[in-house]
């Protein structure tokens, strides 16, 4: 495997924003080797094969890997798999995440289980993965660490009563059913602080660290596509392009911060 390539590990890349990010990596003028992470071997291989068929002339390459953020053993095995092929990672993208507030009850999950599973995947998993892969990241000459966050984690946005997710329900209890994201929103707030601590811890090592808000887009994460479109969700391809722009240095002046697409919600949101 050519050591001249930029080595990227991205989780949850078999669908949605992760998949679109890999698409833009393959179409870039920069030569990448992408470790495409998914929760099963089948999903990782299918996504990798589909992408390479779409970009047969790319100068980049893909290795499918299995990584389930709920399982420490899976993370450890992913490290061994990657380390057999390379002695460094240049970019680690913590993309994988779940939103169970909407569909969790239909899966038989109670509120505690929804919170536990959400935090395991959205907060604890990325932290354990990052901790595991730091030795490889520190061998890079230009190490980059990205965490995918959400505009719903913005305190500024939460004060905007015009935003549809912030509408207050009528007086009384129980409240009428509407889209509430208690566990998802709070997990992304926690992830923002995880980023800030990793930025501090790795600052003297020269690691560039961000949380990246890709915007509200239509993916399987958020449930019914038609509902998402009514909320103003866009195409995840634009989000993938934005993530790659961070990888390729367009937001280097903003290390240690949450970065986002300029048009997001009509303004730049402080977090």
Q: Residue 67 and residue 78: Cα distance in Å, rounded?
A: 6
Residues in the chain: 271
**Active site (annotated) includes residue 19:** no
Catalytic residue among 184, 185, 187, 239: 184
**Active site (annotated) includes residue 27:** no
Catalytic residue among 185, 188, 208, 265: 188
Contact between 155 and 88 (Cβ < 8 Å): no
Residue 243 CA, chain-centre distance (Å), reads 9
**Active site (annotated) includes residue 186:** no
Q: Residue 65 and residue 45: Cα distance in Å, rounded?
A: 8
CB-based contacts of 196: which residues, under 8 Å, 6+ apart? 256
Pairing of strands 208-213, 258-260: parallel
Of the candidates 67, 39, 78, 55, the residue with the CA atom closest to the CA atom of residue 220: 39
CB-based contacts of 250: which residues, under 8 Å, 6+ apart? none
Contact between 96 and 66 (Cβ < 8 Å): no
Contact between 73 and 81 (Cβ < 8 Å): no
Catalytic residue among 150, 154, 187, 239: 150
Residue 134, Cβ neighbours under 10 Å: how many?
19
- Give catalytic residues, as residue numbers: 150, 184, 188
């Amino acid at each position: 495997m050519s050591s001249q390539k930029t080595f990227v590990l991205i989780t949850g890349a078999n669908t949605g924003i992760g998949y679109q990010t890999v698409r833009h990596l393959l179409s870039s003028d920069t030569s990448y080797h992408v470790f495409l992470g998914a929760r099963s071997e089948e999903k990782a291989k299918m996504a990798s094969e589909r992408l390479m068929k779409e970009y047969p002339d790319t100068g980049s390459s893909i290795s499918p890997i299995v990584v389930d953020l709920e399982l420490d053993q899976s993370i450890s095995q992913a490290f061994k798999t990657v380390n057999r092929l390379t002695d460094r990672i240049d970019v680690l993208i913590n993309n994988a995440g779940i939103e169970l507030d909407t569909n969790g009850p239909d899966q038989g999950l109670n509120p505690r289980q929804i919170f536990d599973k959400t935090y395991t995947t959205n907060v604890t998993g990325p932290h354990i993965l990052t901790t595991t892969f730091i030795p490889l990241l520190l061998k890079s000459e230009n190490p980059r660490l990205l965490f995918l966050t959400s505009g719903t984690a913005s305190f500024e946005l939460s004060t905007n009563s015009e935003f549809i997710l912030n509408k207050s329900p009528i007086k009384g209890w129980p409240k009428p059913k509407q889209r509430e994201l208690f566990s998802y929103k709070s997990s992304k707030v926690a992830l923002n602080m995880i980023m800030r601590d990793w930025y501090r811890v790795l600052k003297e090592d020269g690691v560039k660290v961000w949380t990246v808000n890709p915007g509200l887009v239509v993916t399987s994460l958020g449930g019914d596509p038609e509902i998402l479109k009514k909320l103003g969700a866009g195409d995840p391809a634009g989000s993938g392009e934005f993530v790659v722009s961070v990888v390729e240095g367009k937001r280097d002046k903003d290390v240690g911060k949450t970065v986002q697409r300029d048009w997001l919600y009509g303004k730049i949101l402080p977090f």
